[in-house]
C-alpha cells in the first residue's frame, strides 16, 4: 500500500503542486568492461539504453545516471565537463562502474503532463453518453492507479498509488482539508500560483506517512 | 468522521472579544487612512472578497456539500456557514418574486456590540466585510451575486439586513463535468 505521488491542478488547468512520496527507484550499478554490450544513444541530452541488456537488470529505456559514482548532468557530461560519449568510447577508461536507472521527470515535464490532465478530464466528461457526468476519476494501469478528486471550485487533486491501495477517497479529502488550511489561509499565497508553502508540504508528508503506516484512519 | 487531528478545539478558539477588538481596530485604522467613509466601505468589501474566495474551500472541505441548485439552496448554505464560522444565526427572508434575491437578517450588526458610529462616519458600513465574503465565496462556485448592507442597527434601523441578489451563473468558469 504505497502512495507514489501527488499532483494538484488549479482551476485554470496549470499544475500548481507536485510531490513524489514513494517513487519506486529503479537503479542498477554494475562494473562494465570494454566494449559495452549495451547500445547507448543520446536523446534529450541524456544517454539512453536503446538495445541490449537483460529484462531484470539494465535494459532498454533506462538512462545512464552516473559513472564511478559521479552523477551525469545534461549534455550528457560529467560535473567536471568530460563528455560522456567520448569517455565511454575510450578503452582506457574501462573497467568502469556505471549506474543505470529510470530517470526522474524534470519539473517542466511534470508541469506539462499535469497540465495535460485538465483537457483530458474535460474530454472524459463530454464523451459520456449520460449527461452530467463527472470527468476522469480513476485511471488504472498494470503498476499504478491514478485517482482524481475535483472540488466544486475546479481544483483537482491527483493521487498516484499502487494498484492495491484502498480508501483513496478519504486520503484525497484529507489532502483537500490540508490544502484549505495551510495554503489558502496563508495570506501571502496568491490563488492559482504554484504552491510553495513549507507548512503544507510538511503536513502533507505527515499525512502520507501516517496513511502508509497505519492504513486509512477514520478520523 | 470529524476532524480532530490538529484541531483539539479549545487551545485554538479565540475569545470573541479579541475578535471584535481586532475587527474594530482594523476599521478604525482604515478610517484614519482613507478619511472618506466610502473608500473604507469599498476596501472592506474587497477584503471580504479575498476572504470569501479562500474560506469557500475550507467550507467545502469540511462539509462536502454538493453544488447548490438554486438560490434557496445557496441561502441555506450561507446561513450554515454563518453558524459554522461566526456562531451567528441570521434568518432568511424577504424573497423576491423570482426567488433570486433574499435577505439575511441579524438582530444586531455582527462584531459591533460596543460600537457607536461617529457623525463624521455616518455612511460607513461597519460590517461591510460580510457582503464581500458572500460575493467572493459564491464567485468561486461559479455563482455571481451582488451583496450589500440594506439596513444597519448602527444607523438606527431595527435590524441589520444583508441583501443578496443572484446575477448570473458563470458558465465559462464551470469545472468540467458539472453542468
- What is the reported pLDDT for B24? 93
As given in the structure block, the three cell numbers for residue A141 are 494501469
How sure is the predictor about B5, in pLDDT bands with cuts at 50, 70 and 90?
A: very low
For residue A28, give the H/E element and its range. strand A27-32
Q: What is the pLDDT of residue A149?
A: 92
Q: B165 phi and psi, to 5 degrees?
A: -120, 130
- Residue A216: per-residue pLDDT: 65
Q: Does B81 touch chain A (CB under 8 A)?
A: no
Cell numbers at A14, concatenated:
496549470
Residue B12 has pLDDT above 80, yes or no: no
Closest by Cα among B162, B157, B153, B49 to B105: B162
DSSP structural state of residue A77: E
Shortest CA gap A12–chain B (Å): 9
pLDDT in tens, B76-112: 999 999 999 998 999 998 999 888 899 999 998 888 8
Interface with chain A: mutation pick from B26, B59, B61, B63, highest number of A CBs within 10 Å? B61
Quick check: B58 and A152 CB within 8 A? Answer: no
B175 contacts in A (CB within 8 Å)? 11, 150-154
Residue pair A52/A38 in contact (Cβ under 8 Å)? The answer is yes
Partner-chain residue, chosen from A122, A134, A218, that has the shortest CB–CB distance to B1: A218
**How far apart are the C-alpha atoms of A96 and B24, rounded to whole Å?**
72
**pTM more than 0.90:** no
Do the Cβ atoms of A106 and A114 come closer than 8 Å? no
Residue of B nearest to A170 (CA): B1
Q: What are the Cα distances from residue A187, in Å, to B21, B49, B58, B131?
A: 20, 13, 14, 20
- Strand pairing class (A145-150; A138-140): antiparallel
pLDDT at res. B6: 45
Residue B59's closest chain A neighbor by CA?
A180
Three cell numbers written together for A182: 495551510
Q: Which one of B54, B173, B175 has the shortest CB-CB distance to A185?
A: B54
| pLDDT at position B166 | 93
pLDDT digits (tens, 9 = 90+) for A117-133: 889 998 988 888 888 88
| Gap between the Cα atoms of A136 and A156, Å rounded | 10
Res A55: pLDDT: 67
For chain B, give percent helix, strand, coil, nearest 5.
Answer: 50, 15, 35
Alpha-carbon distance A32 to B55, whole Å? 59
The per-residue pLDDT for range B27-41, each reduced to its tens digit, is 999 999 998 899 999
Task: Select the more confidently predicted residue: A178 or A217.
Answer: A178
Residue B51: DSSP 8-state = H
Of all residues in chain B, what percent carry a pLDDT higher than 70? 92
Of the pLDDT bands very low, low, confident and very high (cuts 50, 70, 90), residue B22 is very high
State how far the Cα of A97 lies from the Cα of A33, in Å rounded to an integer: 9
Exposed, middle or buried: residue B127 (CB in 10 Å: 0-12, 13-18, 19+)?
A: buried
Convert the pLDDT of each residue in B124-168 to its tens digit: 999 999 999 999 999 999 999 999 999 999 988 899 999 999 999
DSSP label of A38: S
Q: What is the mean pLDDT of chain A?
A: 86
pLDDT digits (tens, 9 = 90+) for A94-151: 888 888 888 777 888 888 888 888 899 989 888 888 888 888 899 999 989 999 999 9
Most confident of A164-173, B4-13, B124-133: B124-133
CA A148 to chain centre: 16
Quick one: pLDDT band at residue A56, thresholds 50, 70, 90? low
ipTM: 0.83
Amino acid at each position: 500500500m504505497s502512495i507514489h505521488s501527488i499532483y494538484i491542478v488549479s482551476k485554470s488547468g496549470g499544475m500548481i503542486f507536485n510531490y513524489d512520496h514513494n517513487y519506486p527507484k529503479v537503479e542498477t550499478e554494475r562494473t562494465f568492461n570494454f566494449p559495452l554490450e549495451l547500445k547507448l544513444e543520446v536523446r534529450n541530452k541524456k544517454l539512453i539504453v536503446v538495445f541490449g541488456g537483460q529484462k531484470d537488470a539494465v535494459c532498454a529505456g533506462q538512462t545512464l545516471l552516473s559513472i564511478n559514482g559521479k552523477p551525469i548532468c545534461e549534455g550528457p557530461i560529467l560535473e567536471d565537463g568530460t563528455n560522456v560519449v567520448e569517455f565511454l568510447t575510450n578503452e582506457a577508461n574501462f573497467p568502469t562502474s556505471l549506474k543505470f536507472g529510470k530517470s526522474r521527470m524534470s519539473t517542466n515535464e511534470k508541469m506539462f503532463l499535469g497540465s495535460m490532465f485538465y483537457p483530458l478530464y474535460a474530454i472524459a466528461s463530454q464523451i459520456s453518453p449520460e449527461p452530467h457526468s463527472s470527468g476522469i476519476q480513476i485511471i488504472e494501469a498494470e503498476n499504478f492507479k491514478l485517482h482524481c478528486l475535483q472540488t466544486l471550485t475546479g481544483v483537482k487533486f491527483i493521487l498516484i498509488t499502487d494498484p492495491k491501495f484502498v480508501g483513496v477517497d478519504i486520503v484525497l479529502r484529507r489532502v483537500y482539508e490540508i490544502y484549505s488550511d495551510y495554503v489558502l489561509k496563508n495570506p501571502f499565497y496568491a490563488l492559482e500560483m504554484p504552491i510553495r508553502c513549507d507548512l503544507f508540504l510538511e503536513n502533507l508528508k505527515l499525512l502520507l506517512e501516517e496513511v502508509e503506516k497505519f492504513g486509512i484512519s477514520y478520523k | 468522521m470529524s476532524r480532530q487531528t490538529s484541531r483539539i478545539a479549545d487551545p485554538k478558539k479565540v475569545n470573541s472579544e479579541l475578535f471584535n477588538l481586532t475587527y474594530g481596530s482594523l476599521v478604525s485604522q482604515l478610517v484614519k487612512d482613507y478619511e472618506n467613509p466610502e473608500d473604507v466601505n469599498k476596501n472592506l468589501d474587497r477584503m471580504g472578497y479575498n476572504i470569501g474566495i479562500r474560506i469557500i474551500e475550507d467550507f467545502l472541505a469540511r462539509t462536502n456539500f454538493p453544488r447548490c441548485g438554486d438560490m434557496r439552496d445557496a441561502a441555506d448554505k450561507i446561513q450554515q456557514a454563518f453558524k459554522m464560522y461566526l456562531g451567528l444565526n441570521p434568518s432568511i427572508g424577504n424573497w423576491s418574486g423570482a426567488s433570486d434575491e433574499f435577505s439575511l437578517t441579524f438582530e444586531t450588526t455582527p462584531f459591533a456590540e460596543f460600537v457607536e458610529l461617529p457623525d463624521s462616519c455616518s455612511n460607513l458600513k461597519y460590517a461591510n466585510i460580510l457582503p464581500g465574503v458572500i460575493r467572493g465565496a459564491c464567485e468561486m462556485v461559479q455563482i455571481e451575486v451582488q451583496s450589500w448592507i440594506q439596513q444597519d442597527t448602527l444607523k438606527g434601523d431595527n435590524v441589520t439586513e444583508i441583501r443578496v441578489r443572484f446575477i448570473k451563473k458563470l458558465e465559462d468558469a464551470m469545472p468540467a463535468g458539472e453542468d
